[in-house]
Amino acid sequence: MKKTLTIVTLTALAGCTTLGDVEKEALRDRAIADAKAQPKEMHLAYLQCYGLSQSDKKSCRRTASRLATSGRVDASTWDYILPFDYEAERLGFQTFLKDQGKRCAGVNQGPQYNKESNAYDVICTDGHQYGMRFDREKSAWELVK
């Protein structure tokens, strides 16, 4: 009887914390808006995490999120954290390119690694395409000619 009550109680509590589709979409939209409102230094910090292994990327993102002025710092759900991180990375690519004097209206998808060029293919929403490589020795991104 005690096991049954415990299971019923845990199930009821789990049901209270489950988000519906509307709440998840609202969190995603807020996360994207919050990422866009952050300073470019935070976007560039997220860019530094992009080329790392998954285990290193987690730690790097945690450090980069500390530069956030709002939102991500006290986020507690993956429905907010993942869209924020993804948007911050995309904005990092765009910011880097603009700082290099390149045109890029935005990046719709996370750049994919191209084994032939040994670089990430960055495709901007305005049609411009660039190759970017992370130099691990310098710990810096560079444009591929």
User: 118 lies in a domain?
Assistant: yes
Categorize the per-residue pLDDT at 72 as very low, low, confident or very high, splitting at 50, 70 and 90: confident
Residue 5 counted as domain residue: no
pLDDT tens digits, 95-133: 999 999 999 999 999 899 999 999 999 999 999 999 999
- Cα 88 from Cα 68, distance rounded (Å): 10
pLDDT in tens, 35-69: 999 999 999 999 999 988 888 998 999 899 888 88
Q: Within a domain: residue 8?
A: no
Provide the number of structural domains found in the chain: 1
Considering the domain boundaries, does residue 6 fall inside one? no
What local confidence, expressed as pLDDT, does residue 8 receive? 44
pTM: 0.81
Domain-located, residue 137: yes
- Determine, yes or no, domain membership for 14: no
Domain assignment of residue 58, yes or no: yes
- Provide the residue range defining the domain that includes 24: 19-144
| Residue 143 or residue 53, greater confidence | 143
- 105 occurs within a structural domain: yes
